[in-house]
Amino acid sequence: MQREYPRHLRVGAELARVLNALLQSEVKDPRLEGVRVSEVELSGDLGVATVFYSTLDPDDDAEPVKQAFDAATGYLRSNVGRQLRLRRVPELRFRHDQSARKGLELTRLIDSSLG
């Protein structure tokens, strides 16, 4: 019988929660100010976590944020391992979440066609 809420989804949700807490309270890099983890997708074996992040302004350049995440990967991964007590901490891969920008573009398109 298949579970309704598989382990990779539970671990992904916890991982997102822990990363957001770390970003809010412990990470001091100014490039990561106002950045939030929107979703975490884990591979089937929980070895790789793709972390989707968003910024307060969807039109901001995501490259400095990506560089800051790349620099902080080791720190974040070690803290995640300590807090979640996983046997094997997943490799963290960061991707900019484009959904807010696409939503904003759609809203602008609708507004321009109505007005």
The CATH number of residue 25's host domain is 3.30.300.20
What is the overall mean pLDDT for the chain?
A: 88
Question: 1 in a domain, yes or no?
Answer: no
What pLDDT, on a 0 to 100 scale, did the predictor assign at position 3?
61
**What average pLDDT does range 51-78 have in this prediction?**
89
User: ∠ CA(54), CA(41), CA(18), 5° rounding?
Assistant: 65
Q: If you average pLDDT over residues 65-91, what whole number do you get?
A: 92
Q: What is the per-residue pLDDT for 62?
A: 84
Comparing 81 with 113, the larger pLDDT belongs to 81
Residue type at 112 in one-letter notation: S
C-alpha 19/C-alpha 76 separation (Å) is: 7
Q: How many alpha carbons fall within 13 Å on the CB side of residue 37?
A: 24
Specify if 16 maps to a domain: yes
Lowest mean pLDDT among 77-86, 88-97, 105-114: 105-114
Axis crossing angle, helix 7-25 with helix 63-84, rounded to the nearest 10:
110
pTM: 0.82
Which residues span the domain enclosing 93? Answer: 7-114
Domain count for the chain: 1
Domain annotation covers residue 25 = yes
Portion of the chain with pLDDT greater than 70, in percent? 93
Q: For 21-37, what is each residue's pLDDT tens digit? A: 999 999 999 999 989 99
Kindly tell me the sign of the dihedral angle through the C-alpha atoms of 19, 14, 91, 4: negative
2 occurs within a structural domain: no
Residue 83 lies in a domain: yes
- Does some domain include residue 77? yes
Q: Which of 61, 63, 23 has its CA nearest to residue 40?
A: 23
Q: Is the confidence at residue 114, as pLDDT, over 90?
A: no
Cα–Cα distance measured from residue 14 to residue 52, given in angstroms and rounded to the nearest whole number: 14
Q: How far apart are CA 53 and CA 50, in angstroms?
A: 10
